[in-house]
Amino acid sequence: ETKEKLASSFQALSAEALRTNREDFLQLARTSLEKFQEGAKGDLAQRHKAIEELVKPVQESLQKFDGRVQDIEKARIGSYAALSQQVKSLQTETARLTNALRAPALRGRWAEIHLRRAVEIAGLIEHCDFFEQVTVPGEDGAVRPDMVIRLPAGRSILVDAKAPLDAYLDAAQATDEARRDARLRDHASQVRQHVQKLSRKTYWTRFDDSAELIVLYLPNDALFAAALEHDHELLEGALAERVVLATPSTLFALLLTVAHGWKQEKLASNAREIAGLGRELHKRLSDAARHLDKLGRSLDGAVRAYNETVGSLESRVLPGARRFRDLSAAQLDVEIAPLAPLESAARPLTAPELCAAPVPEDAN
C-alpha cells in the first residue's frame, strides 16, 4: 500500500513537473516565435517596400504603355472605320464611273478631253495650232475628225479619239479566266472595227494639206496593250489601212516631234528674216556710200569754185581796187584782207565695199 502511494505520488509529481515544463516550453516557444514573427514582419515590410520602390517605375511605365496602346487602338479603330468608309465611297464612285463610261456619248467625250489634255501637256499651244471638231462637207456626207494638228510647211495631221471600253470593263470584272479571255478578244475585235471604219472614211482626202493617214487615239495604254495581246496583227493591219494607233505615251512622242518641227521652222523663218535684214542693211550701206561719194565730189567742186573765185578776184578785181588807193580815193583805215587758195581736197572712198556697184534690191 505504501508502495502504491509512493507510485501515485511520484506519478502525480511527474505529471505536474511535465505539465509545468510543457507550459514553460510552450511559453518560451511562443515568446521566441512572437519575437521571430516581429522581426520577420519588419524585414518583410522593408523587403516589400524595397520591391515596391523597385517595381514602381516599371509599373508606371506599363500603365503609360497600356494607356498609349489603348489610345492607339482607339485611333486604329477610328482610322479603320474612316478607311472603310472611304473604300466604300471609292467603290461607289468607281461603279458610277464604270457605268458612265459604258455610255457611248460620255465615253467619246472622255476620249476627246483626254486627247486635248495630252496636246496641252506636250506644250504645243504656242508652237502648233490645233482645231477641234472641224467639219468638212463632201459628196458622201460631212466628215469631222476630233482634232486637226497643224504641221510646219502648211501641212496637218488628223486625229480621232476612240474609247472602246465595254468589253475591256467586262474583262476586268470577270471572275473566271475563260470569260476574261473571251471579253479581251472581243475588245481586240472592237478596236479593229474602229480601225476599219476610220480607214473607210478616208479623212485625209477631204483635207488638201493633210498627211495621207489618220491617228486613232486610245486614251489608255492598257487598252492598246490588251488589244494587241489578243490580236498580234492589229498594228500591221492598221498601218496597212493608213491608220496609226496611238496611246498617250506614243502621241506625246509624236507631238514632241511636231514641236521640234515648229522649232526648226521658226529657226528657218528667223534665218530668212536675218538674211532679208542683211540685204537691206547692205543696200543702205551702198546708198550711204553713194551719197558720201556725191558729197565728196560736191566738196571738190566747191573747192575748185572757191579757188577760181580767188584767182579771178586777185587778177581782175584787186588791181582796180589798188588804183583807188593810189589815187587816194579809198579809205586809209580799210585794208582788203588777203585770200589764200585751198590746197586740201575731200578724201576719196577707197574701201572695196564702198566703191563697188550698188546691189540690186532683188538680189539673193
What is the predicted pLDDT for the residue at 151?
A: 79
- Written as nine digits, the cell of 158 is 488628223
Residue 110 is given by DSSP the state: H
Q: What are the φ/ψ torsions at residue 132 (nearest 5 degrees)? A: -110, 145
What are the pLDDT digits (tens) for 341-352?
A: 666 666 666 666
**Average pLDDT of the chain to the nearest whole number:** 78
> Looking up cell 579757188, which residue turns up?
307
What is the predicted pLDDT for the residue at 364?
A: 46
Residue 152 has pLDDT above 60, yes or no: yes
Q: What are the φ/ψ torsions at residue 210 (nearest 5 degrees)? A: -90, 150
Q: H or E segment at 69?
A: helix 2-101
pLDDT: which is higher, 227 or 42: 227
Neighbours of 331 (CB within 10 A): 8
**From residue 317, how far is each of 188, 309, 314 by CA, in Å?**
115, 10, 6
Average pLDDT rounded to a whole number, residues 13-26: 75
Residue 330 has pLDDT above 70, yes or no: no
Confidence band, pLDDT 50/70/90 cuts, at residue 339: low
- How would you label 195-233 residue by residue, b for 16+ Cβ within 10 Å and e otherwise? beebbebebbebbeebeebbbbbbbeeebbebbeebbee
CA-closest candidate to residue 109, choices 154, 161, 149: 161
Query: What contacts 146, CB < 8 A, 6 or more positions away?
Result: 111, 112, 115, 132, 133, 159, 160, 161, 217
**From residue 125, how far is each of 152, 207, 256 by CA, in Å?**
14, 21, 12
Instruction: Tell me how far apart the alpha carbons of residues 362 and 364 are, in angstroms, rounded to a whole number.
Output: 6
Confidence band, pLDDT 50/70/90 cuts, at residue 180: confident
Q: Which of 24-38, 229-243, 286-300, 320-334 has the lowest mean pLDDT?
A: 320-334
What is the predicted pLDDT for the residue at 107?
A: 73
What are the pLDDT digits (tens) for 223-275?
A: 888 888 888 888 888 898 888 898 888 888 888 888 777 788 788 888 888 88
What is the predicted pLDDT for the residue at 230?
A: 85
